[in-house]
A and B are shown apart, each in its own frame.
Chain A
Amino acid sequence: MADTSTATADGHEHEEDRRDFLLTSTVVVGAAGVALAAWPFIDFMNPSADVLALASLEFDLSTMEPGQAITVTWRSKPIFIRRRTAAEIDEAKKVPLSELKDPQADADRVKEGKDEWLVMIGICTHLGCIPAGQKATDSKGEFGGWFCPCHGSHYDTSGRIRKGPAPKNLAIPPYAFTNDTTVRIG
């Protein structure tokens, strides 16, 4: 097109410019249309409204003793709730941050004044297995917290990664205490 348009201008060439313009704009509009039409198909696969609707749940913790742990399900993920003993809290607090792979103070992983309660998503940050350590009989790993048997990740009493392939600490879901013994997750 470039060399024809540099030739002397006559009606014929204007015609060609016009055609080029129409062709280009048709292709552009068509491509944009196809891209837009693709979106519903892509978004169709995202979590649906009913799946999202189960996003917030309340749990009563009044029957839990120190040292006990329960697993609840939220967004089809296991949530670990552990009522920690004083010894466990101490241990979590005294670890220097420099020793941690994913440095985070214990205080940043619990609600203020609620040091006892550790609420975490019980999914190993490596490749998504459920770490052991919730049951009294489970192996709790070298740091007294949780141990992921899949590829050997050890988590401490604050759910922080201490050893093994997992890159991050166990995640903390959004949650709040609605009263002293009830927690709302989500």
Chain B
Amino acid sequence: MSAAPEWKNPVVRWIDHRLPVFTFTHHSVVDYPTPRNLNYWWNFGSLAGVVLVIMIATGLFLAMHYNPSVDQAFDSVERIMRDVNYGWLMRYMHANGASMFFLVVYIHMFRALYYGSYRAPREVLWFIGLFIFLAMMATAFVGYTLPWGQMSFWGATVITNLFSVVPFFGDAIVQWLLGGFAVDNPTLNRFYAFHFLLPFVIFGLVFLHLWALHVHKSNNPLGVDIKTDGDTIPFHPYYTAKDAFGLGVFLIVYFAFAFFEPNLLGHPDNYIPANPLVTPPEIVPEWYFLPFYAILRAVPDNFIDIWGILPILVTAKTAGVILMFASVIVLFLLPWLDRSPVRSARFRPIYKQLYWLFLADCIILGWVGANPPEGTMLVIGRLATLYYFVHLLVFMPLLSRYEKTRPLPDSISAAVTPQGSSQSAQAQGA
């Protein structure tokens, strides 16, 4: 860690003396000490930041031609696609950008799960991350309503109706959310307003996320703490370069979608204008919500008979909604469910296996969510939902107690450099 830099430029020095924004930036992105052993899975945080900026930029421009009224919304989107200069590009970047945002954030979250990045002292960092995830889900949901196609309309209907399970106030809450008795113009207007606001809320949360990150610094593949300066390298140029390379690769994937398969991840029914009197044969959310959709629909219809006393309070619908929200909320408990003395799955032979099972389970849930809940699909969905919760609520605490972990290296540098290991060997010998 170096001291505050001496600013040569007199203007910079003048400003920095009054508002140390240059010093702050220098500390947080230039000489910021970063574990020397971060692998490419650590690229996805900065990628998510880049996607957020792209989303805000393309969204702002789309807003210049979009018209949030039920008579105009669908047509104005088609106008953007056909008549507005580069409107197609702006919209395809935005629509596929949403998918990329979730993809990148899911990888970022699964990286945290693998390397135990949610563990003390980074619990608050993890919480803020989950709040960002929740805000992203809200933003994506209201945003998907805006093109006012059939999936927009019916997705909004199904999701706002989830709140009708709230005891006593359910219907009042749904009407309050909709601003009417069904999804209609007031709903579209407010969803547009929130869709504009929420990204800035996410931006603020990202700031807090980075702040919390910079207090205890990045976790690393070994999951051991930074002990000496030898364990770290400055963020710039090492990780700026690595992140830039990753960004290049990412942009290739992103624009492969935006240019060549822009509608692959969307649902064709959303090119049919919304019709409040005709429900599409099947309502499917965007791919990034499919696992949650599967959990929502997993609860057996005759839940009532199975659970004896619960029934009076909880119907299958209510139970499905509760489980779906619980599937995210339980992630907040993770730092306490997992009490293993070791963070990284590299040194946890059993957790490492279960981790991949859990990842497979989430993918299976997504696949189930894309299909009608019938026959074997329904059974698989139920088992996968069960496993989701068993992994988090049962296996994690049990593993923390009974798993025999492998020995940890003395330090990051000891593990990754030859002279580092000899140094630490000397240190031990001494």
Contacts of A73 in B (CB 8 A): 276-277
Contact present for B179 and A46 (CB under 8 Å): yes
> Which residues of chain B from 182 to 210 have any CB-CB distance to chain A below 8 Å in the complex?
182, 184, 186, 190
B312-333 interface with A by 8 A CB criterion: 315-317
The A interface, classified by DSSP as helix, strand, loop or mixed, is: loop
A75–B182 alpha-carbon span in the complex (Å) = 8
Q: Are B182 and A77 in contact (CB under 8 A)?
A: yes
User: Is A127 interfacial (CB-CB < 8 Å)?
Assistant: yes
Closest partner residue, chain A, to B182 (CB atom): A76
Chain B residues with Cβ below 8 Å from A78 are 276-277
Query: A144-165 toward B: CB 8 Å interface, digit per residue (1/0)?
Result: 0000111110000000000011
One of B176, B177, B186, B297 near A151 (C-beta < 8 A): B297
> Which residues of chain A come closer than 8 Å to B281, judged between CB atoms?
149
Is B356 located at the chain interface by the 8 A CB criterion? no
Q: Which 9 pairs, one residue from A and one from B, show the smallest C-beta to C-beta distance?
A: A75-B181, A128-B161, A129-B279, A76-B182, A130-B279, A127-B158, A167-B315, A128-B157, A51-B180
Number of A-B contacts (CB under 8 A): 80
CB closest residue in chain A, given B190: A45
Using Cβ atoms and an 8 Å threshold, which residues of chain B touch A151? 297, 373
B contact set with A: CB distance below 8 Å: 154, 157-158, 160-162, 175-182, 184, 186, 190, 276-279, 281-283, 297, 301, 315-317, 372-374
Find out whether the CB atom of A48 lies under 8 angstroms from the CB atom of B179.
yes
Asked if residues B282 and A165 are in contact (CB atoms below 8 Å), the reply is: no
Q: How far is the CB of A58 from chain B (nearest CB, A)?
A: 18
A152 contacts B374, CB within 8 Å?
A: yes
Contacts of A46 in B (CB 8 A): 175-176, 179
How many of chain A's residues touch chain B, expressed as a range?
20 to 34
CB closest residue in chain A, given B154: A129
CB distance from B47 to the nearest CB of A (A): 34
A47 and B179 form a contact (CB under 8 A): yes
- Whether the Cβ atoms of A47 and B181 lie closer than 8 Å is yes
Per the 8 Å Cβ criterion, residues 32-76 of A in contact with B are 42, 45-48, 51, 71, 73, 75-76
Q: Is the CB of A76 within 8 A of B276?
A: yes
Give the contacts of A113-170 with B (CB-CB under 8 A).
123, 126-132, 148-152, 164-167
- Sample 5 A-B pairs with CB under 8 A, ordered by A number: A73-B276, A75-B182, A76-B276, A128-B158, A150-B158
For residue B112, give the distance in angstroms from its CB to the closest CB of chain A.
32
Cβ contacts under 8 Å, B162 to chain A: 127
* B301 pairs with A165, CB closer than 8 A: yes
Given contacts A71-B277, A129-B157, contact A48 B186 (CB under 8 A): yes
Question: Please, which residues of chain B bring their CB within 8 A of the CB of A131?
Answer: 279
